[in-house]
Structure 1
């Protein structure tokens, strides 16, 4: 095989705190809950049970599912969530657009112009990341994200694109060796360790030493505009 026939390098970006300043899925779920007073009351009552589940990696999916179920109770079809995502993004376009990180988008665009294959792999619903990226003309960018399913009149998380399961979903979608991976999160260590060139961006300050310890020497630890995060 000639060099011209070789598969272009694969570059994987996390979304939250990497391309987007914040937790995009959490912002969506909060909006879903705030749509009615009884959802707010239900979320407050369930919070003592659900928040500890969200706090720990092995149980995070179940905590997120609980809040998602409260926010979507009354939906019976998966595509109804897509309609609500479009409504949410349209209703708060200015704030959502302002959370996209210009430095991150410039790096992403540079990879695309170089001919690299760029993939976004996120714990948020893929439709949400796509809708937000549409603001900056990346409609054709492939996105892998968390998937939901109907459950007792609402939706819960079926596949959480997170930690080791993020790598399983990337591999399951047919992607091979990763040249470069960008992420802020310790939960993305499987992704970062799988990349030939890991790059940590916008990490929590308390996680920086851990990243330096477990990732290859010289791994860049950068800040792309999240003011409350660490990195150079």
Structure 2
């Protein structure tokens, strides 16, 4: 991981644009699920509400067309009573600060080192994630000491709580990157997910990291020949092992 206070060269206009996914790429697991599980566990009544919702909404999470609705339901269960995204941001900062040791164990040293090298080279680095942007931003800043732009799922008021308004996922991830000003051709993209095929296919150099084992053949079939398919330390994921430096 990088050293606290490290100064990187300032990325210049026209520098290569490098995009990292976050979950299962820089972080071992689903950071948003860990956050919202913590939000739900804070109160017994939230736990009861989530259990009632589980049979209906959990199956929706498994399928791309309905994933946003399933995720939104559990975001809502964890945030009933909140009315503004900044209320969630404050709790995210508290969650990261109080779980720093556990989160640090989930950060993937190889992935953080690759991100670090791109920054040292002066590349324009951005993280694009399906998690709330404040979550990835807080983890990278507080735990990994990496200050990079983050594009992520936008939340807003919904039925007395908060819900996902725009899920930074699949084709929407590309739309949200462009809207955030990252309009250049993607030089390199790193992701574990088949949902990120639009991003990987748009990149001059796609790199698949920590894919589900059953997805490896699909990635080899649809991505350019020779695309690296690597494992950065996720024990239950596929890809060619990369030794930790």
Which bracket does the TM-score occupy, shorter chain normalised? over 0.9
Unaligned segments of structure 1, at least 5 residues: none
In the alignment, which of 104, 120, 133 is matched to residue 127 of structure 2?
Answer: 120
Residue 217, structure 1, aligned to residue 225, structure 2: yes
Aligned position for 1:70? 77
TM-score normalized by the length of structure 1: 0.96
Unaligned segments of structure 2, at least 5 residues: 1-11, 241-245
Aligned positions of 1:43-62 closer than 5 A: 43-62=50-69
In the alignment, which of 140, 150, 165 is matched to residue 133 of structure 1?
Answer: 140
Supply the distance in 2 between the matched residues of 1:168 and 1:227 (Cα, whole angstroms): 32
In the alignment, which of 207, 210, 229 is matched to residue 199 of structure 1?
Answer: 207
Aligned positions of 1:16-165 closer than 5 A: 16-134=23-141, 135-139=143-147, 141-165=148-172
CA RMSD of superposed structures (Å) = 0.9
Supply the distance in 1 between the matched residues of 2:169 and 2:86 (Cα, whole angstroms): 22
Supply the distance in 2 between the matched residues of 1:136 and 1:166 (Cα, whole angstroms): 24
Residue 190, structure 1, aligned to residue 198, structure 2: yes
Please list every run of at least 4 consecutive aligned residues from structure 1 whose deviation after the TM superposition is greater than 6 angstroms: none
What SS does structure 2 have at the residue aligned with 1:179? strand
Aligned position for 2:18? 11
Structure having the larger proportion of residues in helix? 1
Supply the distance in 2 between the matched residues of 1:162 and 1:177 (Cα, whole angstroms): 18
